[in-house]
Every structure is written in structure tokens, then in C-alpha cells.
Amino acid sequence: MTIQARYSVTIEDVARVAGVSRAAVSKVIRDAYGVSPEMRAKVQAAIDELGYRPRASARAMRGSSYTIGVEIPDIHNHFFPKIITGATTALADTRYQLIIAPAGPDHDQGPQAIEALADRQVDGIVAISSQVPQAWLENLGRTTPLVMIGVHQDSVNYDTLVGDDLLGATLAVRHLHDLGHRRIVHLTLAESRPNTTADTPHGLRVAGYARAVAGLGLEPEFVRVEGGQESARVGALALLSAADGPVGIFAAHDELALGVLQAVAELGLTAGQASVVGYDDTDIAAHPRMALTSINQSGTQMGAIAVRLILERIGGRTQTAHEVITPKVMARASTAAPQARATDAAGAARRQQQVST
Amino acid sequence: MTIQARYSVTIEDVARVAGVSRAAVSKVIRDAYGVSPEMRAKVQAAIDELGYRPRASARAMRGSSYTIGVEIPDIHNHFFPKIITGATTALADTRYQLIIAPAGPDHDQGPQAIEALADRQVDGIVAISSQVPQAWLENLGRTTPLVMIGVHQDSVNYDTLVGDDLLGATLAVRHLHDLGHRRIVHLTLAESRPNTTADTPHGLRVAGYARAVAGLGLEPEFVRVEGGQESARVGALALLSAADGPVGIFAAHDELALGVLQAVAELGLTAGQASVVGYDDTDIAAHPRMALTSINQSGTQMGAIAVRLILERIGGRTQTAHEVITPKVMARASTAAPQARATDAAGAARRQQQVST
DNA sequence: AACCTCGTGTAGAGCGATCTACAAAACTCG
DNA sequence: CGAGTTTTGTAGATCGCTCTACACGAGGTT
């Protein structure tokens, strides 16, 4: 029975079966004021009997859609699922449902996905793409609770949530330096890529790196890549093939670091010869086969905070909030004290052979 | 200007500015029949000027929401992002937007997420959780185009899309056997877990394994775990510590295989001593540090097919379709010809020590 | 007894689009 | 050139819910 009529059963039907008005049913399902226990029981019985479920789109027309939207820029970056997990968990006991709008595979589709969420009248938006015009965001934030993750500019109409990228980069450099490395290279996205300007996470990591390196009296040195494991692999391969001493590589995020590890593996180098630090501490970093040293900025915590901020906004907070998460180093076996390269012919030959694999 | 009024701009406003009726504007934005070029231009100009965007929830009340929903059971399983990628790409040139509803971290929340999508009046649903009562799905399929991925029972009201799990398991076993392995163990989910009954992908992999092993005259042998890398690691650790000959392990999916690889790494075993095959061929499997042999059932292709099926349904197809994807082996370094274990005291001691790490 | 207050329920407008009729204008064509 | 056909645009109902305004009856006060 319940199953039979699943859709096409409306609040009207429930009202008829319960023998009350639509408004009464509406009150019950919204937990609104002014419902007697008897009425509630009667209505609830009718709801159960008919298997009634209110349609979100109809509710959204006047009230709220009970939906929180999260925009994620790259479904392949394993950092984002952590944010989702944190958010989903934080939302578990509420009546809100989380939906994700993935930005398309091409870049600069972030705004499009955010817009799609706004079009769907979600009650709040969490967005991660940073390459969105601020004016546009300010305007969106005026009508919809909005949390931007990784946006460092302060704003009037929306909340922000960032990791302390300046500090994170410093920690990465210091970690390599403490191990004894004196050549510390930063592998990051080409400046032509989105999300690389000065106030983005990647831009700040660049700045933090440059400052930390200068503070230690070392030369800054960059490898710029297009993004994705493959480009990082190629970039690292070029760097490491040309190098003959130990190199510490600070990759701007774990996805890139994995590409660097590919190159390290292909060249048969030890962690002492090529030490790699990533950023985000994704799940895979902890795997013993990777053992990637990484900067942790708890993604699950970020997700939970983002949801909290949204719910506060929905609850009536009018002042903007700007939260900062403090990163920490997760030291693993991908970094080690510097070690000279084997200069014997055998080693060189082996490396040579493995490059061509 | 465009930005200023972003929301609260309705079709009414556009109609007023363009000097036409609401219906005319509606026709233009839907590309409907009966619009002269001049009218179109006039309306389009007004739309651009005001920055008008139709609200999905209002459209959903009568027409369609132009939204396709995908339910995914476990955001941490890297196989699902591949499906999403395929689906997003396939949807790129249409007016449809893809949204994802993640099932909560607890199990058996699949139906809840699917229901959430239905409540939001999406025009089509792609769902991956298989542990949903069939009657419920049949009913849902009656009102909404629905594609179930990984559901092997044939259905009347919804389409299905599966990998040939029976064949995939056979390929895995045969691969290990061809390498020379004679002890081939299947590591899979405990039968108490969701999605393990006979007609689910995991159930069929078990059946395929059992049949293939029997066909080769070997004994079937199972390690049952709760799910997640950690439980697989623990299960594999127990298996491999007790074993003294070479073992071939066929893990029911890559996530579990990664856990097995952890155990292999901790015990310091070679690929010949413990050969591991996964299932799904997730991105990370190809990383040289993992080099995980895996059964590929193209996730991106699955996503693309799922979307195609949905769009066909929206377009009017009434007969159900049932697509099958043929899996193939991606052989990598995690599997190798069997190799005896070192029996010297040093080797045993080393293994012993590493277990306790 | 008349007046308030409070709790409970209902009527009915309204949200922003779509979509069915239908009217008016513009072509065909014998 | 008038009847028929096609094209183009509009009016207005409608989708399923929320929410404001209000009616009604029961108690409480003076």
C-alpha cells in the first residue's frame, strides 16, 4: 500500500485522509507551532499510511528546500571527499540533505556549478572553487548563506574557511630543512592555471614557501606544471634527472605529490635522494606504499565547520565569520635526511633503464 | 547591473522589460516552438540585461528540473568518481545539471539518499547502492527514469547497468593461476554487510571465484572482512602471517586490495610471495608505488552509459534496457609468479618485527 | 457578564515557472 | 480575394507547498 502510490500523493491527499486542512498537515511536517497532540497523531498516521513525502521543489517555492549544496572543483582530488564526509556527518541529525555539484572536467566551470546550486534554491552553499569574481560572490551571499573554502579575501556577505596556507608552506619547508635538505624546490601549478593568484591557497603556499626559503638563506626554485599527477610526474622527472645531489620537493598538493612519487619510483631514487612533501594529507598518503609526508589541514573538520557556519547563517546570524584551520606536518617515509646519489655506473644505468619504462 | 539584482529577478521582470508576455519568455528559455527570431532576440536581450536565471524549483512544479541525480554509496571508494566523471562529461552539452547525493557514512543509507533525490524532483536518477528493496525501486522507476548500477536482477520499470562480475572474478582467478599460483584466496565483505547477497556485484564475484577455482581443481578459501582498507589490512595480515607458501589474493574491490597491500608491505613480502588482484582499476592502482593488478570495468564508460540511458528514457523510451560491461585484467607488478618464502631466521625475524609495527 | 487571552485549526493568497487553449496576424492558394 | 492554414503571441489555470490572517471556542480576569 505504502509503496503503491509513492508519488502523486500530495499534501492534499494526506489532509483528506486525516480529515483536516492542508495547513494543518503542513504544520505537522514542519514541526510548526499550534498543533495539538491528537492532531499530530492523526496526521502522522495518514502520512505513514499513504507513504507521503513532501516535494522539495514545492517547498522551495515559499519556504526552504532543506538542501545544502556543496560545489567541488575536482572530483579526482581525494581531499574533497574528506570535506564531504565531515559535512555529511555534521548534517546527519538535521533535516537538511547534502547534495554535491561537481564542476565539470574543464576548469573555470566552478561558477557554473555554484550557479546551478543557486538555481536549485538550496538553503546554503559551500563552495571550494576560488576562481570566482568576488563581486559575484558578494551578490550571491546576499541572498543565500554561503561559505567559501579556501578564499582568503575577507568579505561582507559570505563566510570563509581557510587553512593557514602561509604557515603550512612554512612547515613543509622547515620540515625538509630540519632533515638537512639545502635544496628545496616547490612544485606547483603554472601561473596560467586557475586558482593560482596571490590570495588563493596555492598562491599563498608559493608565498609561504618563498618567505620560508629566504628566511633560511636558500634559493627559491620552482617547477611549474599544468596540474594532475601526470604533469607533476613529467615535471619532477625533468628536475630529478638533471639533479645530481639530494633534492627536497614540496608539492603544492597531494595529487601533485603522487605524480612526483611516480617520478621518484621510476628513477629508483631513495627518500634521502628525493624527499617529497605533499599538502592535504589525503587518505592515500598514509598508505605504507606511499608513506607520503604531507601537511594536514583536517578536511573532515573543514566540512563540519562549513556546515556549522551555514546552519548558523540559516539560524539568523548576520555577521560574517572567517575561520582558519591550523595545519600540521604528518611526517612519513617519503622524506628523509639527504643522501648522496650513487655515482657508480650501475646505479646510473639502472636509473637510465627505469626512465624509459 | 547584471549582478545587482541576481535573484528576485523572475520571468515576470523579464517579460516586462522585453515588453512581452511571461509565456513568450518561457518559450524562449525552453527553446519551444512558436517564437519569431525578433522575439527571441528581444527576450534574450532582456534576460542578459537583468541577469535572469530560471529557478529550478519553480520549473520542477510543472515541467522538469533539468537535473540528473546520482546516488553514491561511499565517497571514499575511488571508483565512484570515475562514474561521476563519465556522467558529467556525457551531460556537458545538454541543459541538464548533475548533482550527487552521497549516502551517509553509515550503511543502509542508500535508500535515504535516493529518496532525497526523488524528493527534489530530479528528472532522472542513477543509483549505485544495491541494497534497496526491489519493489521500492520498481515503484520509483514508474515515476522517474532510473538506472541502477550493479543491480543484476532484471526489472520492469528501471534500467540496469552492470559489469560482468562473474567473468571479472573468473579473469582474476585465471590470471593468478596462469602465473602459477595454486593457493588462491578471495578476500571479500562479510555476509552480514550490505550489498553481499547473491545477485549483487560482490555476491557474483564470490560465485565467479568459487566456480573458477573449482574448475581449476583448487580449494576455495575466503577471508571475510567488514569493509574499508583497515579491516582488509587486518584480515590479510592474519592470512599472510599464518601462511608459509605463496598466496594469491583476489580482493573484491580496490579499496580492500589497498588494505591487503598494506599488509604485504608491513610483512615485507614480495609480489611473488603474496600476489594481489583488485577490482575496479581505480586511478591509484596504476601508480607505480601500488602497481596493483586490477579488473577494469570502465567507470567513465559506465557513467556515460548511465546518462545515455536516462536521457533516452526522458526522451520517451518505454522499454527497459539492461547493459553489461565486459571487464578486463590490468596486469601490474602486484602479481607475479609464485615464489617461496625465505625460511631463514633473519627473514622470519624481520617479518615478525614488522608485524608489530 | 463582558472582555481578554490563548491555543488550535482553517481559508486562501502566493511562490515562479510551464502549458493548454485560443486569438490575432500572416501566409497560401484555388 | 476570401477561405483555409500556419505562425506567433497571450491569458490564465495550474503544479504542491508555506504562511499570514483570521475564526472559533475554552479559560481566566475583573
Fold assignment, A63-162+299-323: Rossmann fold (3.40.50)
- Confidence class of residue A154 from pLDDT cuts 50, 70 and 90? confident
The answer to whether B129 and B283 are in contact (CB under 8 A) is no
Nucleotides of C under 7 A from a protein CB: 7-12, 14-21
Give the distance, in angstroms, between residue B198 CA and nucleotide C8 C1'. 54
Which residue in B323, B298, B321 sits closest to B145, CA to CA?
Answer: B321
Mutation for testing the B interface, residue in A287, A355, A356 having most B CBs under 10 Å: A287
For residue B179, the Cα-to-chain-centroid distance in whole angstroms is 29
Distance CA B35, CA B110 (A): 44
Q: How far apart are CA A226 and CA A197, in angstroms?
A: 15
pLDDT at B2 over 50: no
* Residues of B whose CB is below 8 A from A57: 56-58, 60-61, 65, 120-121
Tell me what pLDDT residue B352 has: 52
Instruction: Kindly state the cell numbers that stand for A135.
Output: 563581486
End-to-end Cα spacing for chain A: 63
Q: Among B3, B7, B262, whose Cβ lies nearest the Cβ of A136?
A: B3
Question: Is the pLDDT confidence value at A335 over 70?
Answer: yes
Q: Which pLDDT value is given to residue A7? A: 56
With a cut of 50, say whether residue A356 has pLDDT above it.
Answer: no
Percent of residues, chain B, with pLDDT higher than 90? 79
Average pLDDT, stretch B162-188?
Answer: 98
B202 Cβ contacts chain D strand, under 7 Å: no
Structure-block grid coordinates of residue A207: 608565498
Question: Is B164's pLDDT higher than 50?
Answer: yes
Within 200-219 of A, beta carbons closer than 8 Å to B belong to none
Within the 78-107 window of chain A, which residues sit less than 8 Å (CB to CB) from chain B?
A: 78, 81, 84-85, 88-89, 92, 97-102, 104-105
Secondary-structure class of domain B11-61 per CATH: mainly alpha
> How confident is the model over B95-151, as pLDDT tens digits?
999 999 998 766 667 888 999 999 999 999 999 977 788 888 998 999 899 999 999
Q: What is the pLDDT of residue A212?
A: 98
Closest nucleotide to the alpha carbon of B18, via C1':
D9
Question: What residues of chain B, 33 to 52, have a C-beta less than 8 Å from chain A?
Answer: none
What pLDDT score was predicted for residue A350? Answer: 53
Strand (E) or helix (H) holding B126: strand B124-127
Residue of B nearest to A59 (CA): B57
pLDDT, residue B355, reads: 47
- Residue A339 to residue A180: CA distance in whole angstroms: 10
Between CA A308 and CA B115 the distance in angstroms is 24
Q: Which residue has the cell 573555470?
A: A108
Other C-beta atoms closer than 10 Å to the C-beta of B32 total 11
b/e burial code for range B204-227 (CB count within 10 A of at least 16 → b)? bbbebbeebbeeeebeeeebbbeb
CB-based contact, B76 to chain A, within 8 Å = yes
pLDDT digits (tens, 9 = 90+) for A25-37: 999 999 998 899 9
Whether B78 shows a pLDDT value over 60: the answer reads yes
CA B140 to chain centre: 20
Contact list, A81 vs chain B (CB under 8 Å): 75-76
What are the C-alpha distances in Å from B99 to residues A54, B91, B311?
20, 11, 15
**First-to-last C-alpha distance (Å) of chain B:** 63
What 3-state DSSP class applies to B113?
helix
Tell me: pLDDT of A4 over 60.
Answer: no
Enumerate the H helices of chain A as residue ranges.
11-18, 22-30, 37-50, 56-62, 79-91, 110-119, 134-143, 165-179, 201-215, 229-242, 254-267, 299-314, 345-355
**pLDDT score at A48:** 95
pTM (whole model) above 0.85: yes
**In sequence order, which residues have a C-beta less than 8 Å from that of residue B349 and are 6 or more positions away?**
none
Q: A94-127 pLDDT, tens per residue?
A: 999 999 999 876 666 788 899 999 999 999 999 9
SS3 A303: helix
Computed over every residue of chain A, the mean pLDDT equals 91
Of A55, A102, A121, the CB nearest to B119: A55
Rounded (10°) CA dihedral B13, A313, A135, B101: -80
Residues 22-51 of A with CB under 7 A from strand D: 22-23, 26, 29-30, 32
Q: Do domains B63-162+299-323 and B165-298+330-342 have the same CATH topology?
A: yes
CB spacing of A57 vs B53 below 8 angstroms: no
Q: Which residues touch strand C (CB under 7 A)?
A: A 20-24, 27, 34-36, 38-39, 61-62; B 8, 10-12, 22-23, 26, 29-30, 32, 52-55, 58-59, 61-64
Query: Would you call A332 an interface residue with chain B, using a CB distance cutoff of 8 Å?
Result: no
**CATH architecture of structural domain A165-298+330-342:** 3-Layer(aba) Sandwich (3.40)
Q: Which residue of A has its CA nearest to B59?
A: A57
Q: Where are the domains of chain A?
A: 11-61, 63-162+299-323, 165-298+330-342
HSE-CB for B201 with a 13 A CA cutoff: 23
Determine whether the interchain pair A101/B100 forms a contact, defined as Cβ–Cβ distance below 8 Å. Answer: yes
Check CB contact under 8 Å for B55 and A258. no
Judged by a CB distance cut-off of 8 A, whether residue A356 touches chain B is: no
SS3 labels along A304-337? HHHHHHHHHHHCCCCCCCEEEECCEEECCCCCCC
User: What is the pLDDT, as a whole number, of residue B107?
Assistant: 62
pLDDT of residue A107: 62
* Closest to A337 measured CA to CA, from A275, A295, A267: A275
